[in-house]
Amino acid sequence: MSVIALLALDGLPAHQLTTPGLVLDAVARSAPRSAYTLRICAVPRTVTTAEPAPMTITADQGLEGLEGADTVVVPGHQGLGADPPPGVAAALRRAVDRGSRVAAVGTGTFTLAAAGLLDGRRATTVWSHVPELAARHPRVDVDPAGTLVVDGPFRTSAGFLGGLDLYLRLVEEDHGRAAAAATARRLVLPVYDEAGAARDELDRARAGTGGLGPTVRWLEAGLDRPLTLADIAAHARLSVRTLNRRFRAHTGLSPLQYLLRARLDRARHLLEQDADATIEEIAARVGFGSSASFRRHFRHATGMTPRDYRASARPGAGPPEGGPSR
């Protein structure tokens, strides 16, 4: 039975403490042979969750609970600029040396970065903290559009529903997409199959960019710009024909296909994370010329309208009601 150790630090969001239990219980019910053991570890042993509804918890284990864990997960927490509590960085390094997966939810990425574990690696965090992560840890290749980034033994998540997408990804890695999809259905998460498949495809393309890496990062850093194939070729200092050939060879996609999928991936992230943004605002922020064009492409890619996708991504949300498109 696989062991997941959750390392709770002071100021973690309460829902990130409960989400793994919710997912792993659903795993056990939908695929009994895929069960996990969850350890709650805390440093210090007693921690207080974040506002607006703080509560104090005392964990059964401290850092010793990380020993022997197949996966270590660091939730978000307060004090992003502070060094990790004593012993945490060393314990995380030992976990990596043992061959464990090490993951972070939301601002938990700051802890991995502060420990030096993400130097030279791709990572993501809550979208509103992306600039701060990049500024504090310039050796980390921060992905501003990523919702879940896999690089070697590390998994970093933007924190969708308390890391629910991260835990489903772990289930998929361990037991296959069918087990993850069955778990998502038990949790009433119809968005997982389509969105997860699209993100996997984009991640595979990103991993294969080869010498086109600077151009890909330029594309993803400015998805709101109206870009043409000629613009991309000029940035890469290649002819349009050579750009197309090299892009397909490295990623399996044409440059414009990659750009469209990156825009849709960023749009999914904004729909999940930014409840105040209207559909029109999101369309503009990811580079679609109109909200109608955005809706058409989004529905073709996911089988859902942006509004329905947003409603499905909210815990306990019912069918969309009439009113402004948000």
pLDDT tens per residue across span 211-259: 777 888 888 888 999 899 999 999 989 999 998 888 887 777 788 888 8
pLDDT for the residue 41: 96
Torsion-angle region of residue 268: left (phi > 0), alpha (psi -120 to 50) or beta? alpha
What are 299-324's pLDDT values in tens digits? 777 667 888 778 766 544 433 333 33
Q: Give ranges for CATH 1.10.10.60 in the chain.
A: 202-312
In DSSP terms, 38 is beta-bridged to 4
pLDDT for the residue 199: 53
Of 317, 261, 27, nearest to 167 (Cα)? 27
In the structure, what pLDDT confidence band is assigned to residue 133 with cuts at 50, 70 and 90? very high
Higher pLDDT, 145 or 27: 27
DSSP state of 303: S
Q: Give ranges for CATH 3.40.50.880 in the chain.
A: 2-188
Specify whether domain 202-312 bears CATH 2.40.30.10.
no
Q: According to CATH, what is the number of the domain 2-188?
A: 3.40.50.880
Residue burial 44-53, b: 16+ Cβ < 10 Å; e: rest: eeebebbeee
What are 15-28's pLDDT values in tens digits? 888 889 888 888 88
Structure-derived torsion over alpha carbons of residues 164, 169, 172, 173, reported in degrees to the nearest 10: -140
Which of 7-16, 260-269, 279-288: highest mean pLDDT?
279-288
CA 299 to chain centre: 21
What are 162-206's pLDDT values in tens digits? 688 899 889 988 988 778 877 877 775 544 444 454 455 555 555
Of 196, 292, 198, 302, nearest to 253 (Cα)? 198
Of 75, 133, 134, nearest to 103 (Cα)? 75
* Model pTM score: 0.62
Q: Within a 13 Å sphere around the CA of 120, how many CA atoms are in the beta-carbon half? A: 1
What number of other Cβ atoms are within 10 A of residue 231's Cβ? 14
Check pLDDT > 90 for residue 272. no
Percent of the chain clearing pLDDT 90 (strictly above): 41
Q: How far apart are CA 130 and CA 125, in angstroms?
A: 6
Q: What is the residue-averaged pLDDT of the chain?
A: 83
pLDDT for the residue 318: 38
